[in-house]
Structure 1
Amino acid sequence: MPPVRIAIVGSGFAGFECARRLSKLLRRHGSNAVVTLISPVDYLLYTPLLPEVAGGATDPRFATVPLNDRLPGVQLIRAYVDSVDLSQRSLRCRDQENMTHELSWDRLVLTPGSISRLFDIPGLAEHGRGLKSTAQALFLRDHIIEQFELARIDENRERAAARKTIVVVGSSYSGTELIAQLCAMASVAVHDFGFEPGDVRLILVERSGRLMPELGPELAARTEQVLKRRGVQFLTGVTLSRVAADHVILTDGTRIGTYTVAWVAGVVASPLIAATGLPTVKGRLKVGSDLRVPGFDGVFAGGDAAAVPDVTKPNAITPPTAQHATRQGKVLARNVAASLGYGSAREYRHRDLGTVVDLGPGFAVANPLNIQLSGFAAKFVTRLYHLYAIPRNANRWAVALGYLTNILFVRPLVSIGFAQPSWARFSASEEFMPAPSAMQPLDEQMYADDLRYQEASDRAAAPSQSD
């Protein structure tokens, strides 16, 4: 008998955990099934550390876990999956040089993850930056440092103030942790660049009525108090209406001069899900509680791209979080193996172990097992959780050393040359690229934007010639 071919699309938390568990299960049962993981990148990105990468507290290498190191026995293909043919049980993908490849499968696991949720806001795609990839985190950090350096020599006071203003849109976990890390960067900038206290403005924009709706009111209030003491300004009940290179307009008409807009206002499923033509729920692929796609034998899905029913809450679906995706990956592995006759399938049932939110140096909030913690106790729990959750000892060791270094020394404010806008565009940096026919205009626009960006930087660096 030819070996069963199992294709897993995506190397996020769900896809990575499914591949790791499934390969172990198959080896244990002596199966000759071939597990293939298709992903645009060759690593698992530990996304909870991205705010620390953007804030300069963690080396980006240690937020990535190499697939070759952690997935022995799994065939890895680095490519973008463009389409899935369910009737022919095949998929089509493109490698880094846009060469097309076709792969047949007997079992398919769709875990392509999510991308930033962009609304039809003029200028957002061109001037806003996300926090879904190391490219975006590194660009954001370099861009902020560059603006601080330009502000120091800019003779136009209004423009210099805009360079020292940072707007973060979205107060979810990522948005709140990001602005907390940027507060730490701002305090260093005051010392290193000779700014006055309060010169760096940090503004958190949240469309809903309060900060971090996912947290309970007690921890959310505590988080808001801490960030306000650090100088963060909160604007609730509004969002962006328009984004330009040097300012934003809010929905209430307020104009804020800024050169830095971080957009962390939620996610949507990968465009691959819509391309399949399968039924969706709120844009995510409809699946059963056993993570099977209804009506298609041998097709499974999980993670951010799947609308997984929450069996503990009627008519609800699980939120797109790393905690859910990791556990769904384990159930996916078990149920795919069961479909081959190894073991029994089960439905996905989540037990919430709590939430941890890192708020920068010396502070965090957490509710492990519904125990409300804040301050140093929560900081200890938060860091211990991350060190446990990163699936590689070398990364754990390096991150732990980074934590110790940050306690003993001030974080350096130095750019690493990652400051071209096109490198951090939403589509180009979030493991999704348009098909080749749609890429040429985008590439030309990226080049033009980079050229304008460089010319504007040159003009700003010589204010005596332009003012």
Structure 2
Amino acid sequence: MRYGEATVTVVDPRSYMTYQPFLPEAAAGSISPRHVVVPLRRVLPTAEVLTGRVTTIDQDRKVATVAPLVGEAYELPFDYLVIAMGAVSRTFPIPGLAENGIGMKGVEEAIGLRNHVLEQLDKADSTTDEEVRRKALTFVFVGGGFAGAETVGEVEDMARDAAKIYKNVKREDMRFLLVDVADKILPEVGPKLGAYGKEHLESRGVEIYLKTSMKSCVDGNVVLDNGLEVLSNTIVWTAGVKPNPVLSRFGLPLGPRGHVDTAATLQVQGTDYIWAAGDNAQVPDMVGRRAGNENAWCPPNAQHALRQAKVLGDNVVSGMRGFPQKEYSHANKGAVAGLGLHKGVAMIVMGKTKIKLKGRLAWYMHRGYHGMAMPTFNRKIRVFADWTLAMFLKREVVSLGAMENPREEFYEAAKPAPAPAAATGGDKPKAKAS
């Protein structure tokens, strides 16, 4: 667009973008958490960035209502609208999950998981109560897709390294469980590599329970539907994602699972001024449909979202100028996954040929691909610097659990002293005789 031709306004409750494929490595301390986020105002210097939430959209008036971090909500007019709100964790009404579960959708959760796991090792090393110790050293992960398998692999690696500095905690004392309702893990890389990933994790002592779901986890008492029952302070929930539920309030056409229903041009069905892409969009997979699958849809992953964004940007400009819209079409290039330091699986698609890699070479592919895909040159350098330093320096295993409530110690020191208790019972003064 020409300078001054349009104003681009971005509304987001966070002032940064998170590169989610690096969250497992951030949770394990392989990458600094600051390096997996990108400040929006730095990477979008010519856009207007508002930190807040869009609560409603009036399509007739072309107005969005924005609720900022502070102050009252206000209306924001628009000519063209892009819906790219991503996804949230898909949860179920399992007793105890809301109180005890830890998600892996944001960098805050990754930092919290790292501090929490190391804090459990501190507890186990310091207590003489065997039940407390056993509960602290049992780690349950629910979900065997990319997020679950990568997170359990990275966290197990970190815990194994951390155990070397504890006198009373050994890796053999810990118990890792991976639970999934499906009959395999890592379905994105195919059955053979998924089977390899399962065998590899099991060789490291991870117990994997397939075709199994969690019935409850009240007070850390994890009950599986196969009859297994364990006590655990750490329950990590990575059982898939769903579109942001706020979409249901925007009056947009939605698919059967809550995604915004879009055409192949990424335009929302029935409109000519609204587009959608990424995890919250139901986009037809034109490559699959040309091959005869009329029900092919683009999966919600970064590979498609990155490419959809470029087509969407071009189509918005084309819509402004009355030019034809271009259809989004992309053939799957494969998938990569890291399962801890020097361990991974990778499937590379080249035409009709699929190249399958495992072990250290796949791990290099995983880091190379995501390192180059990381937004901004600044963040690329910082991520590669973290990896390079890790080749020569030992992994940091310090728990900063106080970050969860940083003001707690100051509050305890500064709060007023309690008033002295009033005298009661026999301490009451005797009434004088009149």
> Shorter-chain TM-score: what band?
0.7 to 0.9
1:249 is paired with a residue whose SS is strand
Query: Deviation of residue 342 (structure 1)?
Result: 7.0
Q: Does residue 232 of structure 2 align to residue 232 of structure 1?
A: no
Query: Does structure 2 conserve the Cα–Cα contact (< 8 Å) formed by 1:162 and 1:247?
Result: no
On the 8 A contact 1:303/1:325 being kept in 2, the answer is: yes
Partner of 1:318, secondary structure, is coil
> Alignment identity in percent?
34
Question: CA–CA distance in 1 between the matches of 2:171 and 2:297?
Answer: 45
Shift of residue 360 of structure 1?
1.1
Contact 1:143 1:419 in 2 (8 A): no
User: Partner letter of residue 263 of structure 1?
Assistant: W
What aligned pairs does 1:40-189 form with structure 2 within 5 A after superposition? 40-189=13-162
1:422-461 equivalences in 2 (<5 Å): none
SS in 1 for 2:340: coil
1:429 aligns with none
Q: Tell me, what secondary structure is at the counterpart of 1:189? A: helix
Map 1:41-440; keep pairs closer than 5 Å. Answer: 41-194=14-167, 195-281=169-255, 282-313=257-288, 314-341=294-321, 344-369=324-349, 370-417=354-401, 420=404
Q: Is the 8 A contact 2:179 2:209 kept in 1?
A: yes
Distance between the aligned counterparts of 1:421 and 1:237, measured in 2? 38
Question: Structure 2: how far apart are the matches of 1:232 and 1:407?
Answer: 25
Q: Contact between 2:278 and 2:305, CA under 8 Å: does it hold in 1? A: yes
Q: Deviations over 1:302-358 (max 9, x none)?
A: 111111111222212211111111111111101111101175421111211110101
Q: Is the 8 A contact 1:117 1:267 kept in 2?
A: yes
Q: Secondary structure at the match of 2:171?
A: coil
CA contact (8 A) 1:42 1:67 kept: yes
> Are 1:334 and 1:343, in contact at CA under 8 Å, matched by a contact in 2?
no
Report which stretch shifted further, 391-400 or 373-382.
373-382
Is the Cα–Cα contact under 8 Å of residues 345 and 363 in structure 2 kept in the other structure? yes
Secondary structure in 1 matching 2:193: helix
3-state SS in 1 of match to 2:56: strand
Asked whether the 8 Å contact 1:139–1:418 carries over to 2, the reply is no
Specify the code of the residue in structure 2 equivalent to 1:36: T
AA of the residue aligned to 1:139: G
Q: Distance in 2 between matches of 1:64 and 1:270?
A: 20
Please give the alpha-carbon distance, in whole angstroms, between the structure 1 residues aligned to 2:80 and 2:170: 60
Is the 2:245–2:258 contact (alpha carbons within 8 Å) kept by the matching residues of 1? Answer: no
CA-to-partner distance for each residue in 1:117-166, whole Å, 9 max, x for gaps? 11111111111010001111111111111111111122221221110011
Q: Which residue of 1 aligns with 2:429?
A: none
Residue pair 2:344, 2:359 contacting (<8 A) in 1 also: yes
RCO higher in structure (CA 8 A, sep ≥6): 1
Give, in whole Å, the separation in 1 of the partners of 2:162 and 2:45. 44
In the alignment, the residues of structure 2 paired with residue 268 and residue 187 of structure 1 have an alpha-carbon distance, to the nearest angstrom, of 33
**Which string of whole-angstrom CA distances, capped at 9 and with x for unpartnered residues, describes residues 40-87 of structure 1?**
111121110000111111101100112122112111111111111111
Counterpart Cα distance in 1 of 2:91 and 2:176: 22
Q: Following TM superposition, by how much is the alpha carbon of 1:407 offset from its aligned partner in structure 2, in angstroms?
A: 2.1
Pair 1:164–1:35, CA change in 2 (3 A): same
Distance 2:393 2:207 in 1: 28
- Structure with max Cα Rg: 2
Shift of the 261–97 alpha-carbon distance from structure 1 to 2, 3 Å rule, reads same
- How far apart are residue 252 of structure 1 and its match? 2.6
Length, aligned pairs only: 397
Distance 2:94 2:368 in 1: 39
More off after superposition, 246-255 vs 147-156: 246-255
**Alignment partner of 1:36 is 2:9:** yes
**Structure 1 segments of 4+ aligned residues over 4 angstroms from their partners:** none
Q: Over residues 217-258 of structure 1, what are the superposed CA-to-partner deviations in whole Å (9 max), with x where a residue is unaligned?
A: 121122112211211110111111111233211123321110
Q: TM-score, normalised by structure 1?
A: 0.82
Match of 1:464 in 2: none
Structure 1: segments with no counterpart, 5+ residues: 1-25, 423-446, 452-467
CA deviation after TM superposition for structure 1 residue 372, in Å: 0.7
Q: Deviations over 1:246-298 (max 9, x none)?
A: 32111233211100000000111112211123232211111111111122230
CA shift for structure 1 position 403: 1.0
Q: 1:350 to 1:141 in 2, by over 3 A?
A: same
- 2:57 is paired with a residue whose SS is strand
Contact 1:112–1:272 (8 Å) recurs in 2: no
User: The residue matched to 2:287 in structure 1 has which SS?
Assistant: coil
Q: Distance in 2 between matches of 1:383 and 1:113?
A: 23
Aligned-residue CA RMSD (Å)? 1.9
The CA deviation string for residues 409-466 of structure 1, in whole angstroms up to 9 with x for no partner, is 22121122356499xxxxxxxxxxxxxxxxxxxxxxxx9xxx9xxxxxxxxxxxxxxx
What letter corresponds to residue 328 of structure 1 in structure 2? Answer: Q
CA deviations over 1:88-109 (Å, ceiling 9, x no partner): 1111111112531210001000
Shift of residue 190, structure 1, vs aligned partner: 2.1
Which letter maps to 2:250? T
Partners of 2:396 and 2:324 in 1: CA distance: 52
Aligned equivalents of 1:45 and 1:190: distance in 2?
30
CA shift digits 1:169-203 (9 cap, x unpaired): 00111111101101111211321123233111111
